[in-house]
């Protein structure tokens, strides 16, 4: 007798989406019930599609669970209009913890929002004609694009293409508007809601999140190869002629699960700018149709590319698009990172790059960045741009306004020149504890101490003023893209981190695991001999990540494992 294996069981999330394709769940009714301080576990999953994560203050768990919410704004390309910035600043003060957190995908996050403030905050965001829809969830997330106004109009053209893609990939459900703007539970008595299926995503949306980014060589400030789909701008004679499409990148993994891993995207081929939206849709629908819906740890598009191959993917894309890709055009990335201080932009105005430690816009006793930025945006109506490295740009500044803006910043303890050391300017950290429910170890709160250790060691080993890219995450999901850093620290447990080495300056190479468990107080002894050898054995102006890849990691691979005792 011939028997066939039973089909694999779909994940719980797939059942939830199928049962409520409007993404409304019971959110509106729970929001209106003032006796409840949290949403149900089912609605927790739907909230993500609305740009909201439910969690609790983990510093207070020993007493009781104090439920709170993280709200994430959707800001394509990191562009923030003056009126939006002022709204976000006000809402952060009124309903969150009086800080704004710049994300590694060029958005703003609010932390510490309690349920009573969630409705007013969301209504305030939408009343300002901003949004949080699809900032989280099994959909296309915030589309990234270069934020730095350069000496060319190409940046603005790429930003415009990023916005077109962002708008085209938004889910179409009315639930978001009805819950957060009208303040009502979505009614299924309406036939349109009862039979709703999203025209792009289908009834059950994507198997997992989907990430899109644009980059302009030679600057890879976006870390474009870490995205599900990327568009590498090809510029000839200062004109944008098209994009090399890449697909299949992603950072997340799970400790101890070899079936999960970070992966860089494959280069597929060249398309002209008019094909960008349909190409993005085609990549997304391949994820929709072929992604793993039985295992969320294996559900990202990168696993489809890894297992089926780039050639299969290109063929599938061409069938969906109805045209063939041209061969990829030549390009070269040489660096990543942001510009700081005052610079002239392409239209004759100026922009100011500001370092924001770990992306946290806040006030302290000696450093009132949040207050200073509000005064500047109120007075000069400057556009704010958020960078993928969690820093901030004030753009479109007239020449006459440079001096008064510099003065306001100085009055609030914010320098324009010599804003931070070279190591700090190249660092990133995810928030992790106490706000993230996935955090296994500290990240943002200990980053300054970790950087102190690294900077002191660099001075001690004769490497003062050497740039080393350091990134830290509290878990292996990779929100700060630690797998691309020259030194990556990935949380495994309280004060225990994987030490990863070997990323490069252009952010085109994954680093590799060097040591499994390192405590912060052990970093001195772990890194001192590595920096010492680097100082003695480097070739020319070789960077630390390149030295690790060329020497240290090669030696580690060639060293036989110790025999069992």
- Write out the catalytic residue numbers: 72, 141, 209, 211, 430, 436, 475, 479
399: left (phi over 0), alpha (psi -120 to 50) or beta: alpha
- C-alpha 427/C-alpha 385 separation (Å) is 18
> Please, is 258 exposed, middle or buried when counting C-beta atoms within 10 Å of its C-beta (0-12, 13-18, 19+)?
exposed
Determine how β-strand 383-386 pairs with β-strand 470-473: unpaired
**Coil, helix or strand for 119?**
helix
Contacting residues for 536 by C-beta, under 8 A, at least 6 apart = none
Give me the half-sphere count of Cα atoms (radius 13 Å) on the Cβ side of residue 558. Answer: 7
What is the rounded distance in angstroms from the CA atom of residue 300 to the CA atom of residue 295? Answer: 10
User: What are phi and psi for residue 241, nearest 5 degrees?
Assistant: -100, -15
C-alpha torsion sign, points 120, 97, 49, 212: positive
Can you tell me the distance from the alpha carbon of 427 to that of 31, in angstroms, rounded to the nearest whole number? 38
Beta strands in 63-107 (DSSP E): 67-72, 79-80, 100-102
Rounded (10°) angle between helices 12-19 and 41-49: 70
């Amino acid at each position: 007798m011939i028997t066939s294996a039973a089909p694999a069981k779909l994940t719980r999330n797939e059942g939830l989406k199928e049962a409520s394709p409007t993404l409304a769940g019971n959110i509106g009714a729970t929001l209106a019930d003032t006796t409840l301080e949290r949403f149900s576990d089912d609605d927790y999953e739907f909230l993500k599609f609305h740009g909201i994560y439910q969690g609790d203050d983990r510093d207070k768990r020993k007493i009781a669970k104090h439920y709170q919410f993280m709200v994430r704004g959707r800001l394509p390309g990191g562009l923030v209009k003056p009126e939006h910035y002022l709204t976000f600043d006000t809402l952060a003060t009124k309903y969150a913890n009086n800080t704004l957190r710049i994300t590694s995908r060029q958005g703003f996050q609010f932390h510490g929002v309690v349920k009573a403030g969630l409705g007013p905050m969301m209504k305030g965001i939408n009343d300002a004609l901003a949004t949080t829809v699809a900032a989280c969830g099994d959909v296309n997330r915030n589309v990234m694009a270069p934020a730095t106004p350069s000496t060319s109009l190409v940046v603005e053209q790429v930003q415009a293409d990023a916005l077109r893609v962002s708008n085209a990939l938004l889910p179409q459900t009315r639930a978001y508007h009805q819950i957060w703007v009208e303040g009502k539970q979505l009614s299924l008595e309406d036939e349109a809601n009862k039979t709703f299926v999203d025209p792009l995503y289908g009834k059950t949306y994507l198997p997992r999140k989907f990430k899109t980014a644009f980059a302009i060589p030679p600057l890879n400030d976006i870390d474009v190869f870490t995205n599900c789909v990327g568009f590498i701008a090809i510029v000839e004679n200062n004109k944008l002629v098209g994009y090399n499409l890449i697909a299949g990148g992603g950072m997340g993994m799970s400790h101890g699960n070899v079936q999960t891993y970070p992966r860089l995207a494959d280069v597929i081929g060249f398309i002209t700018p008019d094909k960008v939206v349909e190409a993005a849709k085609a990549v997304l629908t391949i994820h929709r149709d072929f992604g793993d819906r039985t295992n969320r740890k294996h559900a990202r598009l990168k696993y489809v590319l890894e297992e089926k191959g780039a050639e299969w993917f290109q063929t599938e894309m061409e069938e969906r698009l109805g045209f063939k890709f041209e061969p990829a055009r030549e390009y070269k990335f040489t660096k990543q990172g942001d510009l700081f201080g005052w610079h002239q932009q392409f239209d004759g105005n100026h922009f100011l790059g500001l370092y924001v430690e770990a992306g946290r816009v806040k006030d302290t006793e000696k450093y009132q960045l949040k207050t200073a930025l509000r005064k500047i945006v109120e007075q000069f109506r400057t556009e704010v741009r958020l960078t993928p490295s969690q820093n901030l740009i004030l753009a479109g500044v007239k020449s006459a306004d440079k001096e008064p803006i510099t003065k306001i910043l100085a009055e609030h303890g914010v320098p324009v020149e010599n804003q931070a050391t070279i190591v700090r300017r190249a660092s990133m950290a995810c928030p992790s504890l106490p706000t993230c429910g996935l955090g296994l170890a500290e990240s943002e709160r200990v980053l300054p101490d970790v950087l102190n250790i690294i900077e002191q060691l660099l001075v001690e080993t004769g490497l003062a003023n050497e740039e080393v890219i350091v990134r830290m995450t509290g878990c292996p999901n990779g929100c700060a893209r630690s797998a691309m850093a020259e030194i990556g620290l990935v949380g495994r447990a309280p004060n225990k981190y994987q030490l990863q080495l070997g990323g490069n300056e252009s952010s085109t190479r994954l680093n590799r695991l060097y040591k499994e468990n390192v405590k912060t107080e052990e970093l001195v002894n772990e890194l001192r001999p590595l920096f010492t050898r680097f100082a003695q054995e480097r070739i020319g102006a070789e960077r630390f990540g390149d030295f690790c890849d060329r020497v240290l990691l090669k030696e580690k691979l060639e060293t036989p494992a110790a025999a069992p005792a």
